[in-house]
């Protein structure tokens, strides 16, 4: 068995026992990157020198028992919207293509403190705005299951890197489904934690009230370990919740677990193969003792418009700081200050980012605030309430992750509204601040992965992880691997 | 909603984005369609519902008033496209 | 036609917290450009704000001292606009739920009392500073002031004259200094006022179109700006032209205001709730604790001084008008328990020295207790009153010397020793036979001359009463 086929925790064990060296593991990952990344384009930046140097340091610290984390020595990748000191953090944008942060984000720092070796920075939709990873300034990432397909987005690089074994696990970020949808498209496991569970300090903001960093990996155990490493209160993030990091002891006994299925998610627009696979997965869970029930959640139908209003509004404000003065792209030819603003922003941002900034400016502008932004915040309250009600009855809500399997490259780029509609099953989770776990649950006729989404109560990640762990202990979808193509073969 | 020329010009001015003729026309149409879709929210009655900006009732997160060292200005201005004498340099600004 | 001026004020004060509102950088004034900054206050990607609790405490204090209601559930909002002094391109401020509302400050102009309404007080962050660089004809940006906490105190449009505005600002400054939330130094920009002004014919109910004047940095300039703008608007209206609603800058050197560019006028700030900060909930207990910690405010203090110390109103106004003088008064009086003397010394000597040396009363640096010590030394005959004023106090003022030590070191004690005085007096009598002749002939004027000569010999340190007594005795012997 190849080293890179191991899960993060399996590798961690072998490193701890001395069976595998940290440098050896790091080299194996770097070799895979060298071999496959010209095909899949998962990485924006590969930190080869830094990773090898760090691997040696980590090896010493493991050998003298200073580092004892199960992730010590495990090579990982980080989405390129998390600040890494001295290492380019581009957000997939021309705007930040020359930006080297002067500090490291809390989540990445925690991962490094545990002894994980950062291999590099992963590709993404520009400023995390997109569901295909095609809007990156550094070119599209491709789906390891089929290079004509998108890996999903915006954390497409983070998902594809796990699938292509270019990292043992990765960090992504999720504002409206950006961890979960690519996890589903790439056949990996991904967790969007409860809002506030992981510090956002150092995560370049897209929509501050919705953004959340989370782990992606080969199985639920890896994801649980990474989550347990990066979670916890951070005094630098006022919205991070005052809870300590905890270890998850996974348990596949889900007897009596109440699982709700919102029927209105299974009507029009859902691909029949995806539907079948999700419902079959529900049967699997039922077979293990869970109580599965159908129910209606009509408020969910309003999630997409509310989400896009709030996300665009916050984005338009968050992205105003990119003006060509303090950092990032600065136009070369301009006439005065105002022209510098216009030119730097117009030349530095891509189409989708500009579109969302314009929509955001519109919904907040004088005369429209109440009709759009305020209304969206009211709808958010309605959606939150309907989740609260549902969780009175259910421990977990089971839904599809996306209406289809991975789309063809370019298919959605031409029609932004169509792309937005693809986020139907994921955005409500962000609006309500809830945790969502995606686990592989099947394949379509073309062999593309399907993922199911489990939604939990606030800070109910342990329940989700147990449900996912139980599912993976009786299914093998998560162990299936795509046939990888090196640059030459592709 | 029909996005008029005035509206697209106004919001691109607010967002400090310069749109080419083609971008402007396309923007009007696409944003109009998206806004129309957003208008479907109006079919949900939200009378008497409090706008919710934070999903969880976290409140009173404070920091103590204790000075910590600032960051060296050579570091803060590291990424600045134009700088001079420890300052960010911008085109002449009439104040 | 007679016109009435209607004005409202927006006053920004920098709070005297040690650190900025959302990060732990110092708020200290001065410092080389960009030396009091970090990733947070320069708006680097990925950074987040964390609120300084002291800012909330100071805002509550200010609200209570200005009779406001405290908004027990309040929040921050983002105010979006592009300008190089604002690194995030939004200012974190409070629009929808400001921390204080519906207060008032009582003022008195020419004996007429009036209450000025306070619409609201909100917390926000200051912006950076733009420096024009004439060498490169460009602008340099310094973010040291960026993120310094501000309170914006918004009045109702209750002012009808420049005097009312000045009286309000004076009172506001006193209050803020008393409760220790701001040093209110206009010249350093820690207190700034924007004036909204409109005119209307007397008797008209509706307001006229208003303009906003920004960038006024002294009380005198505010008075001039109000006069100038009032005249400009009346002239426009009498000429049949219209007042345009706009922001204008007052140029105090030119004595006129000019409209800011229309682009800057067309503002749509797109306020929305700041998602990076959580709401602030202020409990009844918190408010009560702050209320109990409030010091005596200027009006109460003035009344007490007049009643308890029987000091003249004019003096009390001056002393209670400046916190620094109150401190000198109270600490000196605690030492010598002689309020009239302390008040006189402050009103005459301390303020004279301040005006001679061009020192703002806030910057007087001697230890106030030493004024009490000095007053006791004069009272106990240790030092001559003139010496105390001319030499000792002056030295205290310039170098904060200890009066007792200084008098000792410089041999300034008053000579009250009869025999020493008698020696000098007899020697003076012996040295001036002509004067003695004239005295014997009945010329009383020479007594003064002899007195002066004796004092001169005694180098001014003698107790004049003793010298007079001895001189009279010696002359009687003749």
DSSP string, C280-302: EE--HHHHHHHHHH----HHHHH
C122-170: pLDDT as tens digits = 999 999 999 999 888 899 999 999 999 999 999 999 999 999 999 999 9
User: Cβ atoms within 10 A of the Cβ of A483, count?
Assistant: 9
Which domain CATH number covers B35? 1.10.20
Residues 170-229 of A with CB under 8 A from B: 195-196, 209
Total domain count, chain B:
1
Contact A282, A453 (CB under 8 A): no
Active site residue A154: yes
Distance of CA C77 to the CA centre of its chain: 31
How far lies C396's CA from each of C353, C367, C389, in Å?
A: 11, 8, 10
Strands A75-79 and A117-122: parallel
> What DSSP letter does each residue of A185-211 carry, written as one string?
HHT-EEEEPPTTSB--TTBPPSSTTT-
Using CA of residue B9, residue B13, residue B14, residue B17, what is the dihedral sign?
positive
Contacts of A210-213 spanning 24+ positions with Cβ under 8 A: A210/A175, A210/A176, A210/A307, A210/A310, A210/A311, A210/A314, A210/A430, A210/A431, A211/A128, A211/A173, A211/A174, A211/A175, A212/A173, A212/A174, A212/A175, A212/A430, A213/A82, A213/A105, A213/A107, A213/A171, A213/A172, A213/A173, A213/A174
Residue B52 lies in a domain: no
- Nearest-5° Cα angle at A240, A235 to A246: 95
- Domain range enclosing B24: 5-43
Report yes or no on B91 lying in a domain: no
CA angle at A177 for the pair A174 and A178, rounded to the nearest 5°? 50
Q: Can you list the domains of chain C with their CATH numbers?
A: 3-286 (no CATH), 296-409 (no CATH), 418-477 (1.10.10.410)
Task: Tell me if C17 sits within 8 A of C54, measured CB to CB.
Answer: yes
Beta bridge partners of A384: none
Q: Do residues C299 and C305 touch, judged by C-beta distance below 8 A? A: no
| C147 close to C20: Cβ distance less than 8 angstroms | yes
- Cβ-based neighbour number of residue C390 at 10 Å: 13
Helix (H, G, I), strand (E, B) or coil at C168: helix
Average pLDDT, chain C: 92
For the record, the structure tokens of B43 come out as 């079919």
- Please name which of C100, C121, C71 lies closest in space to residue C282, comparing C-alpha atoms: C71
- Would you list the domain boundaries of chain A? 1-490
Percent of all residues in chain C with a pLDDT value above 70, rounded to a whole number: 98
Q: State the Cα–Cα distance between residues C156 and C117, nearest whole angstrom.
A: 5
pLDDT at A439: 98
Q: Which of A209, A325, A338 shows the shortest C-beta gap to C275?
A: A209
Q: Which of C33, C146, C44 is nearest to A102 (CA)?
A: C44
Spans of chain A, pLDDT less than 70:
1
CA distance, residue A232 to nearest chain C CA (Å)? 16
Token representation of residue C95? 């629009």
Note if A346 is an active site residue: no
CB contact under 8 A, A433 and B49: no
Kindly list the residues from chain B whose CB atom is less than 8 angstroms away from the CB atom of residue A303: none
Residue (of C225, C220, C275, C271) closest to C248 by Cα position: C225
Separation of alpha carbons C140 and C138, rounded Å: 7
- The residues, any chain, with a CB within 8 Å of residue A110's CB and separated by 6 or more, are A229, A230, A232
Largest alpha-carbon pair distance within chain A?
A: 69
Written as one string, the DSSP assignment of A425-459 is TTHHHHHTT--EEEEEEEE-TTS-EEEEEEEE-TT
CA distance C446 to C286: 74
Quick check: A327 contacting B, CB < 8 Å?
A: yes
Give the whole-angstrom CA distance, residue A485 versus residue A154.
23
Q: To the nearest whole angstrom, how far is the Cα of A94 from the nearest Cα of chain C?
A: 15
Instruction: List the C138-142 sheet strands across, edge first.
Output: B83-84, B87-91, C138-142, C129-133
Asked whether the beta carbons of residue A317 and residue C263 sit closer than 8 angstroms, the reply is no
For residue C472, is pLDDT > 90? no
* A190-A192-A196 Cα angle (round to 5): 150
Say whether domain A1-490 belongs to CATH 1.20.1260.10.
no
Catalytic residue chosen out of the listed positions A154, A199, A240, A316: A154
Distance of CA C141 to the CA centre of its chain: 29
Neighbours of B51 (CB within 10 A): 17
Write the DSSP symbol of residue A316.
H
**Residue B79, domain member (yes or no):** no
CA atoms within 13 A on the CB side of B61: 23
Q: Is residue B84 part of a domain?
A: no
pLDDT at residue B65, rounded to an integer: 98
Mean pLDDT of C203-218: 89
The closest alpha carbon to A175, from A261, A245, A81, belongs to A81
C44 vs A contacts (CB less than 8 Å): 101-103, 326-327
Q: Mean pLDDT, to the nearest integer, of C59-69?
A: 98
* Contact (CB, 8 A) for A223 and A76: no
Segment C359-417, tens digit of pLDDT: 988 889 999 999 999 999 998 888 888 889 888 999 999 999 999 999 989 888 877 66
> Has residue C217 got a pLDDT over 60?
yes
B33 within some domain: yes
**C398 part of contact set with chain B, CB < 8 Å:** no
Mean pLDDT, to the nearest integer, of C81-109?
96
Tokens of A41: 């384009």
Q: Grade residue C197 by pLDDT with cuts at 50, 70 and 90.
A: very high
DSSP C126-137: ---EEEEETTTT
Rounded Cα–Cα distance for residues A326 and B21 (Å):
29
Terminal-residue alpha carbon distance, chain A: 24
Size of the A and B interface in Cβ pairs below 8 Å: 161
> Do B65 and C54 make contact, defined as CB atoms within 8 angstroms?
yes
pLDDT given at position A72: 98
Per the model's pLDDT, the better-predicted residue between B6 and C464 turns out to be B6
A interface mutation test: which of C34, C41, C48 has the most A CBs within 10 A?
Answer: C48
Q: Which residues of B touch A338 (CB under 8 A)?
A: 16
| Nearest residue, CB atoms, B93 vs list C139, C268, C270 | C139
Q: What is the pLDDT of residues B36-77, one digit of tens each?
A: 999 999 999 999 999 999 998 899 999 999 999 999 999 999
Cα distance between residue A141 and residue A51, in whole Å: 22
pLDDT at C265: 47
- Return the bridge partners of C212, or none: C196, C247
Q: Tell me which DSSP letter residue B49 carries.
A: P
Distance from CA of B42 to the nearest CA of A (A): 8
Task: Kindly report the backbone phi and psi dihedral angles of residue A473, in degrees, each rounded to the nearest multiple of 5, phi listed first.
Answer: -80, -15
Residues C444 and C466: their CA atoms lie apart, in Å, by 19
Work out the burial of residue C30: count CB atoms within 10 Å of its CB; fewer than 13 is exposed, 13-18 middle, 19 or more buried.
exposed
What SS3 state is found at C45?
coil
Query: Dihedral of CA A450/A454/A459/A463: which sign?
Result: negative
Interface residue B64 vs chain C (CB under 8 A):
yes
| Binding partners of A (≥3 Cβ pairs within 8 A) | B, C
Q: Is residue B14 situated within a structural domain?
A: yes
| Interface membership of A83 toward B (CB under 8 Å) | no
* C216 neighbors C252 (Cβ within 8 angstroms): yes
| H helical segments located in A64-179 | 106-113, 156-163
Nearest one of A44, A209, C381, C348 to B53, comparing CA atoms = A209
Q: Which of C39, C51, C261 lies closest to B61 in CB terms?
A: C51
Partner-chain residue, chosen from C47, C272, C278, that has the shortest CB–CB distance to A239: C278
Give the CA count within 13 Å in the CB-facing half-sphere of C379.
14
> Is A158 a catalytic site residue?
no
């Amino acid at each position: 068995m190849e080293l890179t086929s191991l899960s993060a925790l399996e590798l961690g064990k072998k490193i701890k026992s001395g069976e595998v060296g940290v440098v050896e593991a790091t080299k194996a990952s770097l070799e895979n990157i060298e071999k496959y990344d010209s095909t899949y384009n998962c990485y924006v930046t590969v930190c080869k020198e830094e990773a090898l140097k760090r691997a040696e340091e980590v090896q010493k610290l493991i050998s003298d028992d200073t580092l004892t984390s199960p992730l010590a020595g495990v090579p990982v990748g980080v989405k390129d919207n998390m600040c890494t000191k001295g290492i380019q953090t581009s957000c997939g944008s021309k705007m930040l293509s020359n930006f080297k942060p002067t500090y490291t984000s809390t989540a990445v720092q925690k991962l490094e403190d545990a002894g994980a070796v950062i291999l590099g920075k992963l590709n993404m939709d520009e400023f995390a705005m997109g569901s295909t990873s095609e809007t990156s300034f550094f070119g599209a990432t491709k789906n390891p299951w089929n290079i004509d397909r998108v890996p999903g987005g915006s954390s497409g690089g983070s998902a594809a890197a796990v699938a292509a074994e270019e990292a043992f696990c990765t960090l992504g970020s999720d504002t409206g489904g950006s961890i979960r949808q690519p996890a589903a498209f790439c056949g990996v496991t991904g967790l969007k934690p409860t809002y506030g569970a992981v510090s956002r300090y150092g995560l370049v903001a897209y929509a501050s009230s919705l953004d959340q960093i989370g782990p992606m990996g080969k199985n639920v155990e890896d994801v649980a370990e990474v989550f347990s490493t990066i979670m916890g209160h951070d005094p630098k993030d006022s919205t991070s919740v005052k809870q300590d990091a905890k270890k998850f002891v996974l348990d596949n006994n889900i007897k009596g677990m109440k699982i709700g299925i919102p029927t209105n998610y299974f009507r029009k627009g859902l691909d029949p193969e995806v539907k079948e696979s999700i419902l079959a997965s529900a049967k699997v869970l039922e077979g293990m003792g869970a109580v599965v029930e159908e129910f209606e959640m009509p408020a969910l139908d309003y999630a997409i418009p509310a989400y896009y209003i709030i996300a665009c509004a916050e984005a338009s404000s968050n992205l105003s700081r990119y003006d060509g003065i303090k950092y990032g792209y600065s136009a070369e030819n301009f006439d005065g200050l105002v022209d510098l603003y216009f030119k730097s922003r117009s030349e530095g941002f891509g189409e989708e980012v500009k579109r969302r900034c314009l929509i955001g400016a519109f919904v907040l502008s004088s005369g429209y605030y109440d009709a759009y932004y305020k209304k969206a915040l009211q709808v958010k309250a309605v959606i939150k309430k309907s989740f609260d009600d549902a969780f009175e009855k259910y421990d977990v809500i089971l839904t599809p992750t996306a209406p289809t399997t991975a789309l063809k490259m370019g298919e959605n780029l031409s029609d932004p509204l169509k792309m937005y509609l693809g986020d139907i099953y994921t955005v409500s989770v962000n609006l309500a601040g809830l945790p969502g776990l995606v686990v592989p649950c099947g394949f379509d006729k073309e062999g593309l992965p399907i993922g199911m989404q489990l939604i939990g109560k606030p800070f109910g990640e342990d329940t989700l992880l147990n449900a996912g762990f139980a599912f993976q202990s009786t299914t093998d979808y998560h162990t299936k691997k795509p046939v990888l193509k090196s640059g030459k073969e592709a | 909603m029909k996005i008029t020329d005035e509206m697209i010009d106004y919001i691109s001015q607010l967002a400090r984005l310069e749109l080419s003729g083609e971008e402007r026309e396309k923007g009007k149409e696409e944003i109009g369609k998206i806004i129309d879709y957003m208008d479907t929210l109006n079919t949900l009655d939200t009378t008497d519902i409090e706008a919710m900006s934070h999903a969880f009732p976290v409140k009173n997160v404070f920091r103590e008033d204790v000075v910590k060292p600032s960051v060296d200005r050579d570091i803060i201005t590291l990424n600045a496209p134009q700088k001079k004498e420890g300052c960010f340099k911008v085109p002449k600004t009439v104040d | 036609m007679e016109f009435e001026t209607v004005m409202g004020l927006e006053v920004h004060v920098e709070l005297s917290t040690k650190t900025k509102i959302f990060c732990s950088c110092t708020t200290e004034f001065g410092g080389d450009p960009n030396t009091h900054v970090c990733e947070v206050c320069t708006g680097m990607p990925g950074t987040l704000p964390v609120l300084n609790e002291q800012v909330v405490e100071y805002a509550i204090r200010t609200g209570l001292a200005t009779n406001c209601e405290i908004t027990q559930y309040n929040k921050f909002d983002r105010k979006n606009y592009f300008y190089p002094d604002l690194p995030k391109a939004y200012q974190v401020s409070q629009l929808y739920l400001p921390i204080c509302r519906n207060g008032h400050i009582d003022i008195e102009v020419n004996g007429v009392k009036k209450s000025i309404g306070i619409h609201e007080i909100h917390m926000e962050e200051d912006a950076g500073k733009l420096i024009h660089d004439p060498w490169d004809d460009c602008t340099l940006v310094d973010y040291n002031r960026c993120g310094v906490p501000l309170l914006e105190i918004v009045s109702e449009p209750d002012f009808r004259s420049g005097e009312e505005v000045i009286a309000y600002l004076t009172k506001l400054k006193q209050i803020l200094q008393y409760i220790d939330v701001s040093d209110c130094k206009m010249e350093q920009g820690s207190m700034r006022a924007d004036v909204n002004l409109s005119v209307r014919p007397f008797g008209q109910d509706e307001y006229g179109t208003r303009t906003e004047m920004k960038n006024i940095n002294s009380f005198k300039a505010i008075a001039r700006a109000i006069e100038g703008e009032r005249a400009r608007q009346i002239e426009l209206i009498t000429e049949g032209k219209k007042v345009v609603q706009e922001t204008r800058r007052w140029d105090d050197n030119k004595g006129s205001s000019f409209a800011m560019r229309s682009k800057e006028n067309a503002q749509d700030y797109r306020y929305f709730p700041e998602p990076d900060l959580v709401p602030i909930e202020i409990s009844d207990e918190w408010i009560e604790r702050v209320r109990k910690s409030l010091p005596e405010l200027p009006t109460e203090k003035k009344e007490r001084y007049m009643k308890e110390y029987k000091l003249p109103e004019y003096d009390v106004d001056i002393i209670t008008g400046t916190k620094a003088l109150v401190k000198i008064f109270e600490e000196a009086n605690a030492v010598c328990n002689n309020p009239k003397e302390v008040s006189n010394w402050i009103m005459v000597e301390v303020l004279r020295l301040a005006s001679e040396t061009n020192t703002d009363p806030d910057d007087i640096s001697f230890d106030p207790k030493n004024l009490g010590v000095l007053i006791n030394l004069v009272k106990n005959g240790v030092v001559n009153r003139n010496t105390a004023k001319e030499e000792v106090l002056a030295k205290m003022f310039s170098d904060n010397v200890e009066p007792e030590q200084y008098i000792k070191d410089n041999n300034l004690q008053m000579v009250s020793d009869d025999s020493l005085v008698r020696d000098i007096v007899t020697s003076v009598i012996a040295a001036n036979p002509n004067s003695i002749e004239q005295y014997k002939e009945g010329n009383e004027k020479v007594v003064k001359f002899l007195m002066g000569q004796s004092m001169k010999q005694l180098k001014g340190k003698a107790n004049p009463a003793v010298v007079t007594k001895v001189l009279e005795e010696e002359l009687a012997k003749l």
